[in-house]
Amino acid sequence: MKNKNDYLKTATDNFVSAAPPTTRLTNPDQTTAWFARHEIVYPTMFTLEGEAIGFKKEGVDAVVALAETLIKEHPEYARGTDFQKLVAGTTEVLIKAIRDGSPHSSYEQFERQIDLWFATETEAKTHFIPCSISPYESQSFRVGPVEFRTLKNFETAHGITAKNEIEKFGYGQLLEYAAKQGAGWIAQVQTEGYDKTRSAEHADISVDIALVALQLFIPSSICKEVARSTARTIPPQIGTFHKVGDYLRVGHARADPCFNYTGPYFDMLLNQNRSILESVGNRVNSFVKGRSPLLKLAQAWCDAAYWFHEGLSEKLDTVAITKMETSIEVLLFAESTRGCKDRLLKTFESFYGLSAKQPLRVNDSRTVFDFIDSIVTARSRVLHGTWSTLNYRKATRNERQHRDEVELLARDLLTRVTLELDGYEKSEQPMDDFVKFLEWVSLQKKSA
């Protein structure tokens, strides 16, 4: 079995640098045939001087083996880039050393060069992401590492008017893009340890999770469309057109989130719910940095919040119910349908002090068990085709009751769990386990 240094030697021995072709290659088939003639498999590229360079098959296998070793030994590589990008980086480092006349023979030396390559690829990046939150001028607010500003506040905070023309042009493009998207806010978040693609993806998700903080204390009828402009946003105004008889009927309705809340009222809500903004900020911070004293619990909360955010904006009740119930399952580490029922029963006991056979609430004949069973069963019926996704209508006066109840439970659990996690993190020797967390919550309720 080859060791690490053997893979370096195999890669070097199987590197090919072929002289430029004597005749011009005019089509892809000729180019492919030229590389095949020299047994070059990857990367198939030409230098500025016209040489064809790359590794033979055995060399490529050695490069892949080196990348596999690196990703096993360095978890930060798996987190910050994908495997194909790491293979490309490994290739780049090896070829540079070979062409410089000093091919790597020591794995430790090679590893240091890869570390420098990774550091360059994953340097800190600050992302600016337009969002649709409220159409009115309001105060800036922060959810952990994510800061939200209106376009006017953003322009002031970054001193755009005082910048040189080149910088103004860049910021001008950002503000113009936001305005065209109907986004009155810009989220700012910094990521570190991710390559360009992963960094952008991570920043987007961080903003999605941060926006859930608003959706925990603002009614869904007001805030369901809160989103970043590159996600599930809809136009600020929706037009409807249909013909009845010979007449075309036209309607227009405002659809932007928080339209019914004035700027001062929105500010008041932010000030009244600082504890939720700060608590969700703690969860978002753990996601952005990939570190937390209770990493599993923090990650589960973020995963669940994302499902909730997606479910809230869904038009179809059946799809919304599925996403909301998935949010609950992920939050509780349910693992299965039966597991979800068991975890929900334990959660109701810990958070609400209600056992399975107790009434759900006053003037409601359902028991806690009946309610939990209906929630878990609803998702299965949609996913397994018992209920039509598109045509299902519940035969009750309140067709949306099921959706509203699942949404209410998901929102309440997300709120309670994040607030309790803040205290649990500070408790004596907390364990990163949801059952232990529930036991701690129960003890806090009893002692209170």
pLDDT for 313-335, tens place per residue?
Answer: 888 888 888 999 999 999 999 87
Among 189, 194, 192, 240, smallest CA distance to 211 is for 189
Q: Are 56 and 4 in contact (CB under 8 A)?
A: no
| Owning domain of residue 256 | 123-288
Do 8 and 148 share a domain, yes or no? no
On whether both 80 and 202 belong to a single domain, the answer is no
Domain boundary among 97, 121, 145: 121
Q: CA torsion angle for 280, 281, 287, 289 (degrees, to 10)?
A: -160
| pLDDT tens digits for range 212-238 | 999 999 999 899 899 998 877 777 777
Query: pLDDT of 257-292, one tens digit each?
Result: 888 899 999 999 999 999 999 999 999 999 998 888
C-alpha 2, offset from chain centre: 39
Do 228 and 138 fall within a single domain? yes
d(CA 234, CA 226): 10
In order of 82, 104, 378, the CA distances from 113 in angstroms are 18, 10, 54
pLDDT score, position 105? 86
274 and 329 both lie in a single domain: no
**Tens digit of each residue's pLDDT (9 = 90 or more) over 104-139:** 889 999 999 999 999 999 999 999 999 999 999 999
Task: Verify that 254 and 265 share a domain, yes or no.
Answer: yes
Copy the structure tokens of residue 369. Answer: 């068990």
The Cα diameter of the chain in Å comes to 89
* Strand 237-244, strand 247-254: pairing: antiparallel
Looking at the DSSP bridge assignments, the partners of residue 252 are 239
| Tokens encoding 75 | 């978890």
Do 434 and 322 fall into the same domain? yes
In this structure, the answer to whether residues 331 and 448 fall within a common structural domain is yes
Residues 278 and 133 reside in one and the same domain: yes
Residue 82 amino acid letter: D
Domain count within the chain: 3
**Looking at the structure, do residues 166 and 88 belong to the same domain, yes or no?**
no
Residue-wise pLDDT for 321-378, tens only, equals 899 999 999 999 987 778 888 999 999 999 998 888 988 888 888 898 888 888 887 7
Whether residues 207 and 336 share a domain: the answer is no
Question: Does 117 lie in the same domain as 198?
Answer: no
Specify the pTM: 0.88
Percentages helix, strand, coil for the chain (3-state, rounded to 5) are 55, 15, 30
Q: Report the distance separating Cα 194 and Cα 119, nearest Å.
A: 9
Of 121, 156, 176, the one marking the end of a domain is 121
- The last residue of one of the domains, among 55, 88, 121, is 121
Residue 390 confidence (pLDDT): 73
Residues 87 and 187 in one domain: no
Residue 57: pLDDT band with limits 50, 70, 90 = very high
User: Averaging pLDDT over each range in 153-157, 233-237, 394-398, which range is the top one?
Assistant: 153-157
